[in-house]
Amino acid sequence: MARTLIANASVFDGTGKAPFAGDVLVEGHRIVSVSAAGSGGASGADRTIDAAGRFLMPGMTEGHGHLSFENVTATENLITPTPEAQVFTAARGARALIDAGFTSVYGASEAKLRLAAAVRDEVNAGRIPGPRIRAGGLEISVTGAMGDESRDHNPRVGPSTLVDGPEEMRKAVRWHCREGIDNIKLDVSGDPFYPSTPGHTTPMAYEEIEMAVRTAHAYGRKVNAHTRSIQGSKDCIRAGVDGLFHCEFSDEELLDMMEAAKDRIVVVPTIDLFHQMASGGAAQWGITAEVAGWMGIPALIEESVKTHTALRQRGVRHLIGGDYGFAWSAQGTQARDIGHFMHYYGYSAAEALVCATANGGRAMRPEGELGTIAAGQLADMVLVDGDVLADPALLLDPSKLLLIVKDGALHKDAVPAPTRTPEYAQ
């Protein structure tokens, strides 16, 4: 089995410790050794890549993936395209993420049930490029809530599965599991895009959430929840939900509950979508900062800052990413969240990178074999031309991502050859 040595790198191992000069030896899918640069601890390589002191970090994880979302501005963009066309959309989303240094996607939901599952299977078979994928399916919601696009005078099917009551929930989750979905997503709370059920409301009943968790866990699958409301988030924690998306509203009891469950849950703030709307980044699509104000977006951001700053202080694991794929939050720009976590929630650059790497790795693989650079870990790594801790925006420049390794394979190798002094000049 071929052995590749990434030599003389500035290694950020994903634990939050300061980078160190190191050599990383990869064999097959895994990291064999991590040693001090030039120490000889990584010998016997078939190929050596000279990192020349550049920043080597674990591959990142998109923590709330919508692979099939591409330049979305309304639910029509998810409902009306054909399944055939949307398979290509999801494949492009996967390619955009791996090209941006995201070697994993923790799936939320998709426009059609099996889009992410189909792309996952093609990626795993080596037929198309993409990250490792925990596939999301359709959102599961309830009548009259987020995801219910019908009206009496205009019945239509939205990008969701609608259930009412625990038995309908049991059947819907079983259906998702039968079709190969890894991550079940529930629409527990309301949302500012649905005026009749705003973010502080909780349309889904506890009994429905609990049934989803019990059924999915019996299949070995995970359950994630769209939850903005206080009651919704409390119900999710009590029912055993694995991942909580958004979570803007909170009280002291909820914060205590989340802290008590911090070794079990992950939380994904999904801030960029609202940041762009409130700051004018979505203006050309009709959502000006003024419109965002009418929708209550600035107030939601304020609640997000309070809640997620408190969760950071309590040691609750955050993941970056979420709701990218809208026109103003393009696929492949998920690394914006590194800066957002620093600006809004008080993370240092190193701490935000841990959210992007080690925390995401544990969500993907609870076995603890992904998300850090250490012997025995799966070999997902990115070599960056520049100091990411000094300037996290480097991750948004594809030309700075010189090496992208997923599962030990080189997705991208643009490392310049070492400059050598001609013999006659010596």
∠ CA 416-421-422, rounded to 5°: 115
Q: Please state the three-class secondary structure of 171-228 as a single string.
A: HHHHHHHHCCCCEEEEECCCCCCCCCCCCCCCCCCHHHHHHHHHHHHHCCCEEEEEEC
Question: 416-425: long-range contacts at Cβ-Cβ below 8 A with a sequence spacing of 24 or more?
Answer: 416/52, 418/50, 418/52
Mean pLDDT of 268-274: 96
Mean pLDDT of all residues belonging to the chain? 95
Give the pLDDT confidence score for residue 426 in this predicted structure.
Answer: 42
List pLDDT tens digits, range 193-236: 888 899 999 999 999 999 999 999 999 999 999 999 999 999 99
Domains of the chain: 3-59+370-413 (2.30.40.10), 60-334 (3.20.20.140)
Residue-wise DSSP of 10-30: EE--SSSPPPEEEEEEEETTE
The pLDDT of residue 101 is above 50: yes
Give the pLDDT confidence score for residue 419 in this predicted structure.
Answer: 57
Q: Are 19 and 54 in contact (CB under 8 A)?
A: no
> 180 exposed, middle or buried (CB, 10 Å; 0-12, 13-18, 19+)?
middle
Q: Are 363 and 321 in contact (CB under 8 A)?
A: no
Q: Are 415 and 381 in contact (CB under 8 A)?
A: no
The pLDDT of residue 128 is above 80: yes
Cβ neighbours of 41 (radius 10 Å): 13
The pLDDT of residue 103 is above 80: yes
Phi/psi at 319 (nearest 5 deg)? -115, 150
> 87 exposed, middle or buried (CB, 10 Å; 0-12, 13-18, 19+)?
middle
Instruction: Give the integer Cα–Cα distance in Å for 86 and 273.
Output: 22
What tokens does 399 get? 């030309």
The pLDDT of residue 266 is above 80: yes
Q: Could you tell me the pLDDT band of residue 314, with boundaries at 50, 70 and 90?
A: very high
